[in-house]
Amino acid sequence: MKFERREFIKTLLAIPVIGGISALFISPFVRFLKPSSGPLATAEIFKQPDKPSPVREISFGVSDFPENWSFKYFMFQESNREYTSVGEQIKTIPGVIVRTPTSDGSPDFVVFSRVCPHLGCVFNFVPIEEEVAKGYNYAPPPGQKVFACPCHLSVYDPMQTDTKGRGKVVSGPAPRSPFKFNFVRNGDRILVSSLESGGIS
C-alpha cells in the first residue's frame, strides 16, 4: 500500500515535467504550421485562419448621395497579420461608392476597390460620356456611366455583371470586374466593412 502511494505521488509530480517537455517540442512545430502563434499557444492551431481586419470602418450617409450617379472616393485601411516582429501590415486600398439608378427610384449603391484588376493602377469614375469616348477608346450608350482606367484604358460598367458580380469589363484588357467592398445599409448609414477576398482570376 505504501509502495502504491509512493508511485502515485511520483506519477503526480511527473505530470508537469512531462507536460513542459511536450510543450517544448510541440510549440516549435505549431509555430512552423502557424507562425503567428504565441510561444506556447498550441490551441491557436485550431483557430480560424488569419483574416484581414479593418483598421477603421468607413461610413457614409444615404443623404450624402442626393441623386443617381452621385459618388465619393475613400481610402480603406486593413490590417493583415504578418509573420515578422512587426506582426501586421497595414494596407491602404482606394475605393469608390456610387449611387446607381433603380426602377423605383430608391437609392442603391455599388462599392468598388479602385485598384484595376489588370495591372493595379487606380481607376476613376468617369460619368461624362464624351470624356470616355475621347479618352478611353469606348463610346458608352446614352446614360451609361463607367469606371475607366488611365493606364491601359480598361472600362467597367457598374450596371452590368460578369461572373464576379457587377462592374463588367466593357472595353480594354482587364481580366475581370473590380473587387467589391462588403457593406451593409443600416437606416441612413452605409457601413463599408471589408474587401471581397479572392485572387485575380
Find the radius of gyration of the CA atoms of the chain.
26
Using CB under 6 A as the binding rule, whether residue 151 contacts ligand FES is answered as yes
Nearer Cβ to ligand FES, position 98 or 174? 174
The reply on whether position 175 binds ligand FES by CB under 6 A is: no
Piece of 38-46, 115-123, 136-144, 176-184 that binds ligand FES (CB under 6 A): 115-123
Neighbours of 32 (CB within 10 A): 9
Q: Looking at beta carbons, which pairs linking 168-171 to residues 24 or more positions away fall under 8 Å? A: 170/138, 170/140, 170/146, 171/136, 171/137, 171/138
CA–CA distance, 32 with 53 (Å, rounded to integer): 23
Residue 114 binds to ligand FES (criterion: CB under 6 A): no
Considering only residues 64-93, where is the footprint of ligand FES by CB under 6 A?
none
Gap between the Cα atoms of 69 and 37, Å rounded = 46
Please identify which residue in 96, 126, 149, 170 interacts with ligand FES, judged by CB under 6 A: 149
Q: Which residue has the cell 467597367?
A: 156
CB 107 within 8 A of CB 163: no
Q: Does 111 bind ligand FES (CB under 6 A)?
A: no
Residue 184 · residue 191 · CB < 8 Å: yes
Q: Which of 34, 99, 118, 145 forms a contact with ligand FES (CB under 6 A)?
A: 118
Quick one: which of 172, 176, 177, 178 contacts ligand FES (CB under 6 A)? 172
Q: 13, 19 in Cβ contact below 8 A? A: no
In the complex, the smallest distance separating the C-beta of residue 156 from ligand FES, rounded to whole angstroms, is 10
Looking at this protein, which amino acid is placed at residue 78? E
Q: Can residue 113 be called a binding residue for ligand FES (CB under 6 A)?
A: no
Site for ligand FES contains 174 (CB under 6 A): yes
Which C-beta is closer to ligand FES: that of 24 or that of 119? 119
Count of residues of this chain found to bind ligand FES when the rule CB under 6 A is applied? 12
Stretch that binds ligand FES, among 54-62, 105-113, 124-132, 150-158 (CB under 6 A): 150-158
Tell me the residue length of the chain.
Answer: 201
> Residues in the site for ligand FES, rule: CB under 6 A?
116, 118-121, 149, 151-152, 154, 172-174
